[in-house]
Structure 1
């Protein structure tokens, strides 16, 4: 959605290094064919705890959200267990954490799945899902908050999103987001950690500009900016 590029520009400027991008679909082989192939030196936006990379400290925490039309009777739903979702047509990116909760709550029979692994240069399942929502083809959409944020903002008030903070069973709905570097590159990791620490306010400002839902480190409440 662009905010990773803004953060990359900020860091490149402070490091005094040229900024170059390597593009590859977020699919099987992503890390192996980019970071491990030395086609890039850092992946901006990587979930904490992933064993394929060496994670920096996290620079934001966010969660999956439910998106509805503003005038919908579902606009105040804040949990996948809400009984009002029964019998509704719900959009879901296949294989993402909300899908497991939907199965648990018996919401899959009417669900409309959208592809997870795609080449986003040519197709955006999240944009298609929200278009279907606005067109009335689905009643609500479950999405990763940082992707939903700017799309909901661009709807000019037609859509609203609510972070899913009340799910108590696994899988969790919030994630701490880091930068990923190659295993063993500890010095590079520490340099990025230093930049994250020194520029946290600027990073928060960029994320807020793109309407990313920011949470506290435990993923339980909205983040108070300045923390």
Structure 2
């Protein structure tokens, strides 16, 4: 098996989900006693929380790039970034290392394409829902995306930052997500992308009015494929 580096801590909740899921896949497909060879650096999310200004993103890029270099230096043969929103910095981070990074949106885009999905809606943090860095990766796989509803953007930010990223799961958040997904179905979406690594805590991926593509599950599957040398990082 190949050794994978994980840039985590954004939040610690999702990093735990990544560790658990990747290992369960590897154990199931390799051997009963197998565990994934992983290098994990869990960053302090206080330094990377709710970034707005360009100078803040620049500093975040430096923090993640240094983390990537440390993981490469420690023996990682490829990397994943355990946060959808931080893929805004993907190009900067990739330029600082000599190993591949599995881009979460490319993994999601391929999954949508393989499923024959032509129209989808993205649910995640503000920058993921409204900026081009994530959306253009899905469009490149032939997927049309519904425009973001700004009311939903505000609701999503509140749920993600105030609740999920501190490990809080509520029935109210579950109800709000179900309503949003139902509305997206009525607006013409063929599927919904959970483009936040904690959202499956409040969304039943297997029981919804629309097919739900969970970025975390898809990214973990791609990571396990790479570890088992059954997939490639581009």
TM-score (norm 2): 0.38
Which protein has greater RCO, CA pairs closer than 8 Å, 6+ apart?
1
Q: Tell which structure's C-alpha radius of gyration is larger.
A: 1
Structure with a larger share of its residues in helix:
2
Structure with a larger share of its residues in strand:
1
TM-score (norm 1): 0.39
